[in-house]
Chains A and B, each alone.
Chain A
Amino acid sequence: MELHILLIFMIFAAIVAIEVKDLLSSVIAVGAVGFALCLAFLVLKAPDLAITQLVVEILCLIILIRATINKDLPLVIEGRWVFNALSTLGFIAVFLLFSWLALRELPRFGEPIMEVVKKYLQEGVSKTGAVNIVTAVILDFRAYDTLGEATVLFTSVIGIMAILRKPGRKKKE
């Protein structure tokens, strides 16, 4: 029941974040969505994810606020507003209809199919020695995923440094 309340709160906060006029209020509303997501992870028995989501959300908020502060928001009335909004909403309605049909084939909430994980849960402690099964999965059983993640993070840091370097090049002396 608390999950329903949290999800409805997240949907309302997301709508506020998308629709409000002021950029700073919009960023704060997105922070509200992130902290509600952290609470939902706690309810879903995932403490690792709750810690990570909390600290990542704080850093993300600092970066977003530094980027958007003191920058104006142009207020424009767009032409064909009604047509564009109605076509987008229609597309989203079709998407939700098909997703409703597809979701019925999934296993019910609360009764997952735990085929792969059964082995990890039985042999996790004896094979790796790590008590935290999530750490055992990401750093031992499925360490390839973590290697790929490290590569993606490295690439993103290099990309940011290349984009944000000072423009213009010094002439060779």
Chain B
Amino acid sequence: MILYFLCLILFCVGLYGVLRKRNIVKMIIGLGIMEYAMNLFFVLMGYRFHGRAPIDAKDQNILNMVDPLPQALVLTSIVIGLGVTALVISIAIRIYEKYGTFDITKIKRLKG
């Protein structure tokens, strides 16, 4: 319970960065932190006390494995997160080339 709540506080730190910062790179960093918090939350939901990693061993009958389903979902989500981060970074580099700044308010001013 406390762990879930700490995880949501981490999510809120990323949310604050996305909402309040005016630098595009800071916004991307906030997005990354939100993604980390979501991945961690999924894996925390599947943990089991005194559980073992979901890999069979030779000549052993393992009964108390942790939940492998959230791990499988998060495994794809991590790689997608890298792709999304690279896409947003490339857009930010294009904006820097065109306007010479990372500040979003200046970009708005130059357009009008």
Contact = CB atoms under 8 A, between A and B. Distances in A.
A107 to B, nearest CB: 8
B89 A63 contact: yes
A156 B86 contact: yes
Contacts of B46: 112
A151 B15 CA distance: 28
Contacts of A100: 5
Contacts of B33: 14, 17-18, 30, 33
Interface in B1-36: 1-10, 12-17, 19-23, 25-26, 28-30, 32-33, 36
| A-side interface mostly | helix
B74 A27 contact: no
Interface centre among B54, B74, B83 (most CB of A within 10 A): B54
Contacts, number: 222
Residues of B in contact with A, size category: 35 or more
A59 B81 CA distance: 12
B102 A4 contact: no
Contacts of B40: 7, 37, 40
A110 B49 contact: yes
A142 B69 CA distance: 9
Interface residues of A, number: 81
A47 to B, nearest CB: 6
A37 B92 CA distance: 26
B76 A146 contact: yes
Interface string A46-85: 1111001100100110011001100101101010000011
Contact of A88 (B16, B29, B68): B16
B61 to A, nearest CB: 11
A137 B49 contact: no
B20 A84 contact: yes
Contacts of B21: 18
Given A44-B43, A106-B45, A146-B76, A17 B29 contact: yes
Interface of A: 3-4, 7-8, 10-11, 14-15, 17-18, 23, 26-27, 30, 33-34, 37, 40-41, 44-49, 52-53, 56, 59-60, 63-64, 67-68, 71, 73-74, 76, 78, 84-85, 88-89, 92, 95-96, 99-100, 103-104, 106-112, 114, 116-117, 120-121, 125, 131-134, 137-138, 142, 145-146, 149, 152-153, 156-157, 159-160, 163-164
Query: 9 shortest A-B CB distances, which residue pairs?
Result: A156-B83, A149-B76, A133-B54, A110-B49, A18-B17, A137-B72, A7-B6, A14-B13, A138-B72
